[in-house]
Amino acid sequence: MIKFSSKAVFWVLVLVGGFGFIIFSSVSRNNVSDVENPSSSSLAMVSPTISPANSSGIVSKITKIVSPSPTPNDDESFKGIPNQGLVQTSVPKEQIIGPATCRLEGSINFISEDLYESKGAKIVYNNVDSPARLIFWKTTPDDGVLKIGPNIFSGLPLPNGEREIGVSIEKAASAKSYTLTASVTYGETDERDVEKIKEASCFGIITVTMP
C-alpha cells in the first residue's frame, strides 16, 4: 500500500491549484478581448442604417414656363374670358368714379414662331363702363406682323380688372423686337344725358422680342 506524506499531498494540491488558476486566467482574457474588440459581424448587426433620402439635401428646380402662340381665330385671349357669368349689359353708374384708365406691364419673348415666354405681360384697367368697350393695339414698327388681344371687354371683369396679353405672329418679321401700346374706349354722359364714346391711352409699353 502506497503512503503519501502530508508534505507531498500539499505540493500536489499547490500544483493542481496553479494549473487551474492559469486556465481560468486565459479564458477570462479571451472574453474581455471579445468585448473590447467586437468582430465586424457583430458591429454590422447593431450599426444604424442611414437613408439616402435623409442624408441628401433637397434640390429645388426652376422650370421656365412657356405658352403656345395663340391663334386669333379661335383663342379666347383675343376676345376675353369665356365666363359668361361675368358678362354685364352695363356697369352701375355709382361704380364708375372717373374716366377709364389703363396701363401695360411686362414683356414677351418668342422662343419660336409658335412658342413664347410671357413675363407678366398684361393690361390693367379701371372704370370701364361697358362690356362693349374696345381695346385698340398698336405695334412699332407697324408692319402687320403681330396680332394682339384681347380687343374687347366682353367677358372681362368690370369696371376694374386685368388680363394677360395674347400675341401671335402673322407673317415674317421685319424687326427683332416690337413695342406694344394700347388704348381703351369708354362712355361719358354729358349734361343732356347724351353718351359720348371717348378713348383713353394706356400708360406703359410691352416689348415683344422675336425668335
Instruction: Dump the DSSP string for 46-84.
Output: HPPPPPHHHHSPP--------EEPPPTTT-GGGT--S-G
How many Å apart are CA 54 and CA 129, to the nearest integer? Answer: 58
| pTM for this prediction | 0.61
**Domain residue spans of the chain:** 1-35, 67-209
Per-residue pLDDT reduced to its tens digit, 145-191 = 999 999 999 999 999 999 999 999 999 999 999 999 999 999 988 88
Q: Tell me, what DSSP letter sits at residue 202?
A: P
Per-residue pLDDT reduced to its tens digit, 25-72 = 554 555 444 444 444 443 333 333 333 333 333 333 333 445 555 554
What are residue 51's phi and psi, to 5 degrees? -75, 135
